[in-house]
Amino acid sequence: MLSFLSATHKVRTPVAEIGYFDDGPADGFPLVLLHGYPDDAQTWDGVVTELRAAAPGLRLLRPFQRGCGPSRVTAPDAASGECAALAQDAFDFVDALGLGEQRFLLVGHDWGSRALHAAAVLAPERLARAGFVAVGSPYGRPPEWGEGHFQQARSFWYQWWFQQAAGRAALEKDAGGLADFLWRMWSPTWQFDPAELAAVTPSFLNPQYVDTVLHSYRHRWGNAPSCPRYDAASARVQSNPPIPVPATFIAGAADACTPPALYRENQALYAAGVRWVELPEVGHFPQREAPTAVAREILEHLRERGLEVFARAGE
């Protein structure tokens, strides 16, 4: 898999410096594609290839999450990995690019999915027209009891490992090796090219990477405080309110990290409706494993929202 740019662009926000890839016309309809853990913005390369061919009027923006690759938090009081911080980064990113008054579509995988769900909770008016497309990580919690709960607990072992000193040590010593293990575990039907993983592991060398990852998972399970800057927003997000904007959710039916079958009942939490798509024989990384299908579903979401400006270059 090849990245389209040998070096990223960078933009400053009130709290961070964000590196990003930028493909398509500068005046095209903006799609912001957010990556997850353990990964970086190159995860969307295959999808971007498909979208550039099918919809040349799109501007495809791929930021690196805070603490990953070239992106770093510059404001000491904003150091955090919590979902509310990632959501605010997404809004700050489009605002810093001067896109805040335009319509745009957020697409997110894994951490990116959690970020855009949080964004929809915190500022639904900004997403009301275009909605969003989530990939891999569904909204809400798995069943509290029974076999489904036990299955999800087994899949989330790494999150609880990160609560311990041993988890930190492993992340510091061999973040790439851990990513390799998780990719194989989460996508048991996918035989990825080792070069695909090797391309993203340099992003894990960011000096803020380990602390950002650990805070994300420790905060998620109540073992680290929210950053005061995001306190109120995090409380709102963690209450799991219904999602008030239209969404598409794309899952791999063979996902061994967050099995979609455990979350189907959570579709009721999408108060404005959700188009639920499950791709057969695909694991936790649909954008890597089935980029053509993911691109197709993104375009279908835009069609359903009446945003067909993407079909013609330069509009």
| Pairing outcome for strands 29-34 and 72-73 | unpaired
Q: What is the pLDDT of residue 145?
A: 63
Q: What is the DSSP string of 147-183?
A: HHHHHHHHHTHHHHHTTSHHHHHHHHHHHHHHHHHHH
Q: Are 156 and 220 contacting, i.e. CB atoms less than 8 angstroms apart? A: no
**102, part of any domain:** yes
Q: What is the pLDDT of residue 14?
A: 97
**2, part of any domain:** no
The structural domain count of the chain equals 1
Q: What is the pLDDT of residue 307?
A: 87
**78, part of any domain:** yes
**4, part of any domain:** no
**Regions of the chain where pLDDT drops below 70:** 1-7, 143, 145-146, 308-315
Q: What is the pLDDT of residue 142?
A: 74
Q: What is the pLDDT of residue 149?
A: 82
Q: At what angle do helices 209-220 and 165-186 cross, to 10 degrees?
A: 90
Q: Is the backbone peptide bond immediately before 38 cis, with ω within 30 degrees of 0? A: yes
**278, part of any domain:** yes
**1, part of any domain:** no
Cα 3 to Cα 46: distance, rounded to the nearest angstrom: 9
Cα 34 to Cα 222: distance, rounded to the nearest angstrom: 24
Q: Which domain holds residue 267?
A: 9-311
What CATH number did the domain enclosing 55 receive? 3.40.50.1820
Take residue 279 and report the two structure tokens written for it.
Answer: 């791709």
**3, part of any domain:** no
Cα 214 to Cα 81: distance, rounded to the nearest angstrom: 8
**196, part of any domain:** yes
Other C-beta atoms closer than 10 Å to the C-beta of 147 total 9
